[in-house]
Structures are given as C-alpha cells and as structure tokens.
A and B are shown apart, each in its own frame.
Chain A
Amino acid sequence: MATDVPAVKLIGWYGSPYVHRAEVALRLKGVPYEFIRDDPINKSELLLQHNPIHKKVPVLLHGDRTICESLVILEYVDETFDGPPLLPVDPYERAMARFWAHFIDQKFARPFWMSFWMCEDDEHKEAFVKEAKGNLAILEEQLKGRRFFGGDAVGFLDVAACGLAHWLGVIEEVSGVTLVNGDEFPAFCKWAKAYVNDDTVKQSLPDRDELLAFFSGNKEIYMALARATLHK
C-alpha cells in the first residue's frame, strides 16, 4: 500500500477482547490501520451503517469492503495480507484451530460469566464453576507443552483465546472468584503470561487498571444480569 493514508480502518470499543483480536491480527501482519473508537452506549451512525445486523464491534473497513465478526475478520486479515500466517498451513491443523476457537466462543462465556457474578450462596454457582474449570482443563490439554497454541509464535487460536489471557484475571480480581491457578492449570498460566507479554500483542492490550476500574464500576449490573438470566 503506497499511500500514507491507511486503507484499513477498524471500528472498536476500548476494552473489548473481540476488538483486540482484530487489532492484534493487523499488527501481527504489519498492516497499518486507523482505529475508530466507538461508544457502546452511544453507537455511531458509522457502526450502525456498517453492522446493521449485529450492531457490534469490531468492524473492519478495507477499501469498499466491510467485515464483521472477529473470527471472520481474523481469517480475512490472514488471507488478504502478507506476513506471518495466523492459521497453520496444514488443513487438519487449520480445522483444529477453527474448532477450538469456536469452542472458546461457545463454551466459555456463560459458565464463566455465571461463575463470577452469581451470589456465593446460590446453589447453581457450583455447577457453573465446575463447567468453567472443566473447559479450562480441556484447553490446558490442548497446549500440549507448547508455548503458544500456534507453536513458537502467537497464532489464530492464541488470538482467539485472548480474553482468557488478559481479561479473565481482571474479572477474577473484581468478582473475588478465582478459577485459574497455577497448580491446576500450569500450562495455561504460562501461556497467558507469554501471550500478554508478547511484543506485538502488548501494543493492543487495554490497560489492566483501566479494565479493573471499568469492571468494578459495573459489578452490580453484572450480578443482577446473572440472577436474571439464570433460567434463560
């Protein structure tokens, strides 16, 4: 790209792990981009125009193309730009990476959310904690002694799992619920540390203290939501 105006724009909310996924992918590929900071409480016309269906971030604008959904964006960035591949080369390994990314999106949100925000004395909490830890154990096994899911370097699945590396610890601190510990999940803990300390990843991780303040501020809302959606 010869021009100095980036042809790539990314609409995002500060602090979103999904937005981070997209940013990290662009940075790993060395693609310059303009970050357009949107407000989740006051969504811009630009966002609503480009993602009318889900009304969510991240949204990647590349020339006249609009790409929504963070994992779709990851694959688009991998296929469009030169640079180190995000997905493995082998078809079976690619299928595994996609499977585990989907597993993370499907299986972590609810049990984790409920484990953190349900009241201590709620009888259902234990079941959610068990489920969350069970899923963590499955992921722990997938690391197979590697530094990253992608091997020696950060790859597709590491980026997909970013929420677990950086945001999880913050929410544990705010909620007072600890799911991850070095005894039960040693490989996972090492991976999380390696991920957040990676030079490229660091550039697009939201500040931990700011995240802490944000989640602390919304604690009551999250607890109320957990109670309300128990039987959804």
Chain B
Amino acid sequence: MAVEKNNNGLQLLGFWVSPFAQRCHIALAEKGLSYESLEQDLSNKSELLLRANPVHKKIPVLLHGGRPICESLVILQYLDEAFPEASALLPSDPGARAHARFWAGFVDTKVFECGVRLWKRKAGSEPQVQARKEMVEALRTLDAELGDKPFLAGEAFGFVDVAVVPFAAWLVSYGRLGEFDVEEVCPRLVAWAERCGERESVAKSIHPPEKVWEFVGFLKNKLGDK
C-alpha cells in the first residue's frame, strides 16, 4: 500500500476536538513523522475503530503496520520507543521521566475528569459546584508546577507539554462553566498556553477556544443532566 510506505506505516484514528487525539497529532509533528490521519465519526463508529479498540471503542488509536496501540499516553511513549531516531518526547533521565509521567497522569485524572463533571452535571447543582472547586484547585496546582519555567518540561517543550497543551483550549470553557477567572487562577499557565501556541505542531493541531466552547454546548445538550 503506497500510502502506508510513505507514512512510516502510521495511521491515527482521531476526532477533531479530542484533546487525547491532539496529543498524538502534536507528538507525531514534533517527531517529524508523517502519518495518515483518519478522522472518525463517533456517532457512527467505523468497523476499523471497533476492531482496533474493541475494549474501549475510543479514539485515539495509532495503527503501526496495522497493529493498534490505544490510550494517548501509551501512544506517545510508543512513538518514542518505536522511533528512537526521531527527537525524543520524554527526557532520558529516569527521575525526569517519572516526573513527566506523573504530571501527564495528573491532567487526565484531575483536570479532564473534573472537566467532564463541570459540563455534564447541572449548573449550580452540588456535584457541579464541587467540580468547580476541584477544577480551580487543579489549575492552581498546575500553574504552581509550571512556576517560572518556560515549559512544564523545563527549558524545552517536552512530553508533559504535549500531554497538557490540548487542554489549554478548554480553559475558557472551564472558566465559564466553573464561573471563575482563568487569568486570576492560573496566569502562568495562560502565558504558557500562548507560548506553546506559537509552535507549529500545536497551532496545526488544536482548535480555538471558542470552537471548543461551541462543542461543549453540543455536549451539554446531548449528554448533560437536564
């Protein structure tokens, strides 16, 4: 298959607004790896997706020579290990690697999961108000972790930045749903998000905050508590 040969045998099953898919797009771009991008219709999941990820039936899925790898952070680490000649996402020092994995995991459990409750639970209900508090705390924590560093990974853009930056486009939405001032809660993170946005890999992969807000509206309507 000519396309496969030109694309390192790589295909990415994704969905335009998914921060998890975006992590993979950014990683592939940072590593200079060409691939075939296959946008999925999540309201009508393809045979390809269901075969590639029978356990979760979710995107992103990376196919390498037809073999599926699922879960965005697993994909990122796989790309580093399968393509060691391309610039590494994770640092080489084990302590720094552990730090990167910890913070990537933090975003999944403390920011993303909380974000779902923010739009899903009825505005002003007890669980939604609880989610607001947790989101503010999570963002403050991330802001403190960034500190005065230019990037979450340190001096240079790295694994953690790839893992977190797709959520930058969700900050406006979180602020509106949570009724808090994002600039006041996490000013350094806001500046970091702008810095990251200047990178081509990021600019190409993430959508403007207002587009995300529109999507959140759609989610609330379709799946939110009434």
Contacts and interface: CB of A to CB of B under 8 A. Distances in A.
Interface residues of A, number: 23
Dominant SS at the A interface?
helix
A127 interface: no
B78 A72 contact: no
Contacts of A75: 97-98, 101
Contact of A79 (B55, B75, B82, B94): B94
Contact of B98 (A53, A76, A94, A103): A76
A69 B104 CA distance: 12
Contacts of B127: 232
Given A91-B78, A92-B69, A92-B82, A72 B105 contact: yes
Interface in A85-105: 91-92, 94-95, 98-99, 102-103
Contact of B102 (A72, A92, A99, A102): A72
Contact of A80 (B55, B69, B73, B94): B94
A53 B110 CA distance: 10
Given A72-B101, A75-B98, A91-B81, A103 B55 contact: yes
Nearest to B110: A53
Given A92-B67, A95-B69, A99-B70, A76 B95 contact: yes
Interface in A47-97: 53, 62, 65, 67-69, 71-73, 75-76, 79-80, 91-92, 94-95
A53 B106 contact: yes
A92 B66 CA distance: 12
A138 interface: yes
A71 B74 CA distance: 13
Interface string B77-106: 110011000000000001101100110011
Nearest to B53: A99
Given A76-B94, A99-B69, A68 B102 contact: yes
Residue from B75, B78, B127, B141 whose CB has the most chain A CB atoms within 10 Å? B78
B97 A102 contact: no
Contacts of A69: 101-102, 105
Dominant SS at the B interface?
helix
Given A72-B102, A72-B105, A99-B69, A94 B81 contact: yes
Given A68-B102, A69-B102, A75-B98, A91 B70 contact: no
Nearest to B117: A232
A65 B95 contact: yes
B4 interface: no
A60 B171 CA distance: 33
B110 to A, nearest CB: 8
B36 interface: no
Contacts of B69: 92, 95, 99
A92 B67 CA distance: 9
Residue from B74, B95, B98, B106 whose CB has the most chain A CB atoms within 10 Å? B98
B134 interface: no
Nearest to A94: B81
Interface in B175-200: none
B71 interface: yes
27 contacts: A62-B95, A65-B95, A65-B98, A67-B102, A68-B102, A69-B105, A72-B101, A75-B98, A76-B97, A76-B98, A79-B94, A79-B97, A80-B94, A91-B78, A91-B81, A92-B69, A92-B82, A94-B78, A95-B69, A95-B74, A95-B75, A95-B81, A98-B73, A99-B69, A99-B70, A99-B74, A102-B74
